[in-house]
Amino acid sequence: MSRKTFLAASLAVICGTGVLRSDEGMWLYNDPPRERVRATYGFELTDAWLEHLQKSSVRFNSGGSGSFVSEDGLVLSNHHVGADALQKVSSAQKNYLRDGFYARNWSEEIPCVDLELNVLQSIVDVTARVNVAVPAGMSPDEASKARRAVMAAIEKESLDATGFRSDVVTLYQGGAYHLYRFKKYTDVRLVFAPEQQVAFFGGDPDNFEYPRFDLDICLFRAYENGKPVKVPHFLKWSQKGAAEGELTFVSGHPGRTERLLTVAELEYLRDRQYPIALAYLKRREVLLRSWSERSAENARRAKDELFGIQNSRKARDGGHAGLYDPALMESKRQQEKALRVRLAANPDFARAAAAFDRIQDAQAKIAQHEQVYRLLELGHAFQSELFDIAHTLVRAAEEYPKADGERLREFAEAGKASLEMGLFSDKPIHDDLEILRLADSLTYLAEQLGAQNPTVLKVLAGKSPRARAAELITGSRLRSVDERRRLHQAGATAVAASADPLIQLARTIDPEAREVRRRMEAESEVKKQAHAAIAAARFALEGKGRYPDATFTLRLSYGVVKGYTSAGKPVPAVTRLGGIFERSAEMEGRPPFDLPDRWLKKRKAIRADVPFNFVSTHDIIGGNSGSPVVNRAGEFVGIIFDGNIESLVLGFAYEETQARALSVHSAGILESLRSVYGAKPLVNELLAGPRK
């Protein structure tokens, strides 16, 4: 069967009938798939098992997942999730992202810059309270403000009552609202990282491909009051690891899926949003790649950002290709058509039946504003760390004097501590890279709106993009954390009086940015209410045994370790450590298939037959990177680090015949730590308990 024929058949099952596949789902912890797992695999998801896995799971604010793997607060994630932290503690003299790092005792562990870890403690359904605060008859503007106010109130009450980070999360595109409470750790220290050559072996050519041979891991430790935190919930390590055909579970934070969108919304993504996003990413990729090739230090400074851009570009390329697949789109149309027929036949669902047209109308209005919204509000015209700081200061000065419920969402009182941690971060900021990025994005602004556009003229102030960028960056004092604190504490008067050119620029564009955001939020409110009506009708017709789209909050997936067939050839479920040397030799050791000297020297000491990477049928998406894979006993057997190329359609529909999640095997991790890095104390901690 060809891939196209297979996809048409499988998606017809997925989307046309509305029936969930056996291993499908990114499930809520407060609504787990107990019956499905029991019926399919004969395994009981008990409350105690779920609580332990939930409280062993960790979210990285830099984007990604992880887990506690020792009682002394040791946290395991991916190297590419930890890359942001590695970059920020590196220098030209000590390049931890490239060369790796190992702290042989607690005193050598390196404090990370502005890294926050979140551990989910509880979930409360607050849907009724949110909906009561937004009665029918309100204008979209009024409804958006009312919803924002009640969500801020719920979060602040929860923060005051528990001390936990408290976020109201929108589910089912507006069909439900849940309050998530997180234990927060802000003293996080680097413990171990391999060289990026082996963490991302194969580089961009092998990204989203399989077979793979990557040691994509990074270890941190959470501290409280200057000491490693003692955690009651952590994952015991399985030396044996995952076996082919074994039932396993993934606990992580998938970022975003769009499986519940209407056809009108999917067509908008396909025809407008994805092409714009891809062109923008490719532009930035060329810019940073060219700059990186000029010197080793340039390459070091841009490495993490360039990797993120390349990863996003490739993922969106795959997702965009899925939206051009006639089988996928036709199955979505048939699913929507069948639901609309059912809704139209029942007068009780009249509001839901009309909701699809309301979404289409709102989407058309969003299209009118999206260009300016991306440029000004999302900051595509101002790619600069210093400008982001300036804009945050300008907005904070205006927002914080307001009542909590009247502020923009990101300035709500419950999130203030996290916002200020980022604002006052002493992360390295490099003027040459800042000027490069800002000059290119100002050029992009002029290209998009036209050289004579009033906003462009105000921003460039009679100068070329390059000259204006140099003037703004070199003239700013905001690289000083003390100056940021001074302006933030002094408030609106000090910000208004500031002569800092970036503050002045942020004040210049902020009114227009706020207005386009207001328009976008009003139309999004229309869509939110329409989706809520559709969700309520679905619940009435089909019950609540469904999972919502991903929201970068903790979810549970289940599946089996299983190979697949590609181009008529079987692809094995598991690769072995010795395969990394064979792959390198096959590619004649050329970058990115070269190996670190340490690995070449230790080759004879490494047991070549130890499992290294494996694939499984788990339902994952971006954000799941770093998620632990556990067995029935709740033991750590692997860590998610990627998906194969066939998995890139999972943003829109689940597929289990060829789409696979990729993981690093627990046995391969131990063998690498022992035989390559000589990290015996770390191995002992993973296997036996705390380091002495």
Do the beta carbons of residue 376 and residue 509 sit within 8 Å?
Answer: yes
Report yes or no on 151 lying in a domain: no
**Helical pair 385-399 and 481-490, crossing angle rounded to 10 deg:** 20
Sequence-ordered list of residues with C-beta below 8 angstroms from that of 338, at least 6 positions apart, any chain: 16, 18
Q: What is the per-residue pLDDT for 17?
A: 38
Q: What is the distance between the alpha carbons of residues 319 and 331, in angstroms, rounded to a whole number?
A: 16
Q: Is the pLDDT of residue 544 over 80?
A: no
> Exposure string (b/e) for 522-555, b if CB count within 10 Å is 16 or more?
bbbbbbbbbbbbbbbbbeeeeeeebbbbbbbbbb
Sign of CA pseudo-dihedral 381, 302, 464, 280: negative
Q: Are the C-beta atoms of 40 and 21 separated by less than 8 Å? A: no
Query: Which one-letter amino acid corresponds to residue 213?
Result: F
Alpha-carbon span 326 to 576, nearest angstrom: 38
Cα–Cα dist 338/349, whole Å: 14
Over residues 600-611, the mean pLDDT reads 98
Measured distance CA(286)–CA(436) in Å, rounded: 12
419-463 pLDDT, tens digit per residue, is 999 999 999 999 999 999 999 999 999 999 999 999 999 999 999
Q: How are the residues of the chain apportioned to helix, strand and coil, as percentages rounded to the nearest 5?
A: 55, 15, 30
Give the model's confidence band at 528: pLDDT under 50 very low, under 70 low, under 90 confident, else very high. very high
Which DSSP helix (H) or strand (E) runs through 178?
A: strand 176-185
- Residues 190-211 have pLDDT tens digits of 999 999 999 999 999 999 999 9
- Pairwise CA distance, residues 157 & 166, whole Å: 9
**Which pLDDT band holds residue 21 (cuts at 50, 70, 90)?**
low
For residue 10, what pLDDT is reported? 41
Model pLDDT, residue 688:
82
Dihedral (Cα; 285, 289, 291, 292), 10-degree rounding: 130
In a domain, 178, yes or no: no
DSSP for 251-317, written as a single string: EE------TT--HHHHHHIIIIIHHHHHHHHHHHHHHHHHHHTT-HHHHHHHHHHHHHHHHHHHHHH
Whether 691 has a pLDDT exceeding 90, the answer reads no
Q: What is the phi/psi pair of residue 642, to 5°?
A: -170, 180
Position 19 scores a pLDDT of 58
Note whether residue 179 is domain-resident.
Answer: no
Q: Is residue 251 part of a domain?
A: yes
Q: What is the DSSP letter of 587?
A: T
- At 604 the pLDDT is 97
Geometric angle at alpha carbon 243, from 238 and 248, rounded to 5°: 75
Q: Which residue has the higher pLDDT, 159 or 2?
A: 159
Residue 558 lies in a domain: yes
**pLDDT of 392 strictly over 60:** yes
Q: Which regions of 55-175 does DSSP assign to beta strands (E)?
A: 57-60, 64-68, 74-77, 101-102, 110-111, 117-125, 165-171
Q: Is 369 a residue whose pLDDT tops 70?
A: yes
**Cα–Cα distance list, 207 to 7, 63, 337, 447 (Å):** 22, 18, 37, 32
In a domain, 539, yes or no: no
Is residue 502 within 8 A of residue 386, CB to CB? The reply is yes
Can you tell me the distance from the alpha carbon of 620 to that of 660, in angstroms, rounded to the nearest whole number?
A: 9
Report CA 497 to chain centroid distance, whole Å.
Answer: 37
Residue 459 lies in a domain: no
Using alpha carbons, select from 473, 459, 462 the residue that is nearest to residue 512.
Answer: 459
User: Does some domain include residue 199?
Assistant: yes
What's the CA gap between 168 and 674, in Å, rounded?
Answer: 43
Structural domain span for residue 637: 3-116+186-257+550-688
Q: Which residue has the tokens 């050598």?
A: 108
The tens digit of pLDDT for each residue in 561-605 reads 999 999 999 999 999 999 999 999 999 999 999 999 999 999 999
Please state whether beta strands 564-566 and 569-571 pair in parallel, antiparallel, or not at all (unpaired): antiparallel
How open is the CA angle 302-303-309, to the nearest 5 degrees? Answer: 90
Report pTM: 0.95
pLDDT of residue 543: 84
Round to the nearest angstrom and report the end-to-end CA distance of the chain.
Answer: 57
- Please state the length of the chain: 692
Q: What is the domain count for the chain?
A: 1
Contacts of 366 (CB under 8 A, 6+ apart): 268, 520, 523, 524
Do residues 199 and 21 lie in contact, with contact meaning Cβ atoms separated by under 8 Å? Answer: no
Q: What is the CATH number of the domain that holds 66?
A: 2.40.10.120
